Homo-oligomer: A and B are copies of this chain.
Amino acid sequence: QIVAAIEQFISAKQQPELSWQGITLSITAGPTREAIDPVRYISNQSSGKMGFALAAIAAQLGADVTLIAGPVPLATPAGVKRVDVISAEQMHQAALKAAQNSAIFIGCAAVADYRMAEIAVEKLKKTSDDALTLKLVKNPDIIASVAALSQQRPFTVGFAAETHNLIDYAKGKLTNKKLDMICANDVSDPAQGFNTEHNAVTMIWPNGELALPAQAKTELAKLILQQILQQYQMVEKAKLLV
């Protein structure tokens, strides 16, 4: 009994101060695919590993997690509710629905900015022309739509994956899209970011930033979640004081 009490004491000490217990969290992950015709599509290098790591760790920490996943060959983390989507429009719909039932929303997916103006019903045939022009139109901006919710708006965290001027672009996105936080992710280095096991991000919020060095995505996920929760709880406390 004494041993059990000591173990309980130690385990309580090891728990982070901030707990995700009972917090509803939605995360988007992976790429989207925009169909050109029945067999061809436009997509991107996102592997979904960062978003899946965030979902796995948050669920382990007690959060009630919904993971909205683009087409990636990854197993669903234990305890996570998964919604599979293909296109940006599908992800937009699923994300808005989940966001309105969440305290916190993390947009980690690499959503295609554009889709085909028209999807061909039959497989496009090669023509005698040497050139082909694809006409694209803008997709809905999912993270901006979530941040712009007038009712049931969650604490909204975005990701900015850039190859150049990373921090500048990320700060611009934070402001323009009215996000609460953004994780700036340099994807120009082949050793980190898209389709690797490691990553480094700089987390930016309206009055602060924190650089998290390169490490395994699961380790990084813990640090990102800790920072998000801390900032979320500060904002919630501030609301009560108003």
Residues of A that sit less than 8 Å from B by CB: 36-46, 73, 110, 112-114, 117, 122-124, 126, 130-138, 161-164, 187-188, 194
Chain copies in the assembled complex: 2
Chain A, interface SS category: loop
User: In the assembled complex, which residues on chain B have CB atoms less than 8 Å from the CB atom of A138?
Assistant: 126, 130-132
For residue A169, which residue of chain B has the nearest CB? B125
Q: How far is the CB of A78 from chain B (nearest CB, A)?
A: 22
Q: Are A187 and B38 in touch, CB under 8 angstroms?
A: yes
Residues of B within 8 A of A44 (CB): 39-41
Chain B residues near A123 (CB-CB < 8 A): 161-164, 187
* B134 and A136 form a contact (CB under 8 A): yes
Closest chain B residue to A190, Cβ basis: B38
Q: Nearest-CB distance from A191 to chain B (Å)?
A: 14
Complex: how many Å from CA A120 to CA B188?
Answer: 13
Closest Cβ neighbor of A47 among chain B residues = B73
**Complex Cα distance A73/B71, Å?**
13
Q: Closest residue of chain B to A135, judged by CB?
A: B133
Bound together, the chains give a CA A95 to CA B112 distance in angstroms of 32
